[in-house]
Amino acid sequence: MNPSVLPLAARADMLVGSVIDSSTSLLQKQTHDIVRFAMGSPAAEAIPTDVFAAILPEALGTGAAAAYDYGATEGDPPLRDALLQMLEGTTDETTADRLFITAGGMQGLDLCCKLFVDPGDLVVVESPTYTNGSATALSYGAELLEVPVDDDGMVVDALAELVERAGRKPTVIYAIPTFQNPSGATMSLSRRGRLLELARQWGSVVIDDDPYGMLRFSGDDLPSLRELGAGDPLVFSVRTFSKIVAPGLRVGWVDAAPELHRLLVNAKQAMDTCTNLPAQRLLTAFLNGGHLEEHLKTQREQYRTRKIAMQDSLTEHFGDIARWTDPEGGFFLWVTLNNGVRTSELFEVALAEGVAFIPGPAFSPGGHFDDALRLCFASTRPERTTEGIARLRRAVDRIAEAPSRG
């Protein structure tokens, strides 16, 4: 049945589909061998399944039904304690009254938009940006303003100019300051400071979305927006265990002004009441057992190796027709083609050739970046990466040499 015959709320029109999710569904239907650079997931072998199996019985308490009950909306107290400890001494160190457990980073983004975005409000997003983040703002009726990103993250001078031109202040500025999805760029310290200055001047909430910051494999940590904001009620930080431990657990957290706590509880109760308790208990045991540090050490080293393998393969196969980023952590390379091939057109040809990526326009509400694509280097072993990049080049050549292109 066509849903338009149903008495849908106006809001339903604001729910935009994610190209990432539709690409994933398309991918799941394929039966031939595909090198998968599309999803931003940790490698299958990076999920600490052996540790989980060992700690699970105790974590969930054999025979104890309590781990399967409803939990506290703001998060299971033992996880909140373990998390506070985990963050001690990091650039995200915080206090219990600011911490709120969520169902992944996505719920943090949703809660923030639910509390701050009214239909018609101006929300700044990076260009390119994380699609599901911009889609969340759109679902609350935001009008989006795209601000360019370069190697030093969001171009904050351009932000000031674009806001001036828009003639109104943004309600929310959505930033992914570290190892940005999709570009891999990290916002420089001076831009972080300037962004906070502008936000204060305008009274805009800054969403500081940082799922990848703990996956730094070279260079030095920068102070987070959260740390630089030092308790500024305008800074709303969104974090997740999805990239550092496992996305299927669906556990994340936000770090926000204590004054927001009651509103967050009310908003979350109207969504899902509480975060999956068994997953929180498992994470608590993982953190309290001291497993995270070793796990991250291994992952960072592996991701560094995988990034280099991908860049080496790109140099071999794409040196003449593309340039790409060089992130110091995270999951992604952003590749820009200079031979006129449109990556939205490339997607299906590449899939047939046996390689998957996400086309650039998926990361821009205005559909820009048809000359670019996102590759996740984190989830593929170096040998497979080499094969995948060779397949990608064959796909590009098939399009570039197609007779219809003249």
Ligand X SMILES: Cc1ncc(COP(=O)(O)O)c(C=O)c1O
Contact positions vs ligand X (CB under 6 A): 40, 104-106, 130, 133, 176, 181, 209, 211, 240, 242, 247, 252
Quick one: 181 or 343, whose CB is closer to ligand X?
181
Quick one: 21 or 93, whose CB is closer to ligand X?
21
Quick one: 41 or 386, whose CB is closer to ligand X?
41
Least distance from ligand X to the Cβ atom of residue 356, Å:
16
Q: Rounded CA gap, 178 and 214, in Å?
A: 9
The owner of tokens 């940006």 is 129
Q: Rounded CA gap, 69 and 224, in Å?
A: 35
Quick one: 247 or 365, whose CB is closer to ligand X?
247
HEC string of 156-219 equals HHHHHHHHHHHCCCCCEEEECCCCCCCCCCCCCHHHHHHHHHHHHHHCCEEEEECCCCCCECCC
Least distance from ligand X to the Cβ atom of residue 354, Å:
24
- Is residue 206 within 8 A of residue 199, CB to CB? The reply is yes
Quick one: 211 or 354, whose CB is closer to ligand X?
211
Quick one: 248 or 367, whose CB is closer to ligand X?
248
Least distance from ligand X to the Cβ atom of residue 314, Å:
21
Q: Rounded CA gap, 321 and 339, in Å?
A: 6
Q: How would you classify the pairing of strands 355-356 and 35-36? A: parallel
The owner of tokens 């998957």 is 356
Least distance from ligand X to the Cβ atom of residue 158, Å:
20
- Is residue 225 within 8 A of residue 195, CB to CB? The reply is yes
Neighbours of 157 (CB within 10 A): 12
**Beta bridge partner(s), residue 324:** 335
Quick one: 209 or 227, whose CB is closer to ligand X?
209
Least distance from ligand X to the Cβ atom of residue 110, Å:
9
Q: Residue 148: phi, psi to the nearest 5? A: -60, 155
Quick one: 352 exposed, middle or buried, by C-beta within 10 A (0-12, 13-18, 19+)?
middle
Least distance from ligand X to the Cβ atom of residue 4, Å:
29
Helix-, strand-, coil-residue percentages of the chain, each rounded to 5? 50, 15, 35
Dihedral sign for Cα 138, 144, 146, 151, please.
negative
Quick one: 104 or 360, whose CB is closer to ligand X?
104
Q: Quick one: which of 331, 327, 305 has its CA closest to 386?
A: 305
Quick one: 128 or 211, whose CB is closer to ligand X?
211
Least distance from ligand X to the Cβ atom of residue 307, Å:
16
Q: Rounded CA gap, 192 and 313, in Å?
A: 33
Torsion of CA 322, 327, 330, 332, to 10 degrees: -10
Q: Quick one: which of 113, 111, 108 has its CA closest to 125?
A: 113
Least distance from ligand X to the Cβ atom of residue 342, Å:
24
Least distance from ligand X to the Cβ atom of residue 225, Å:
14
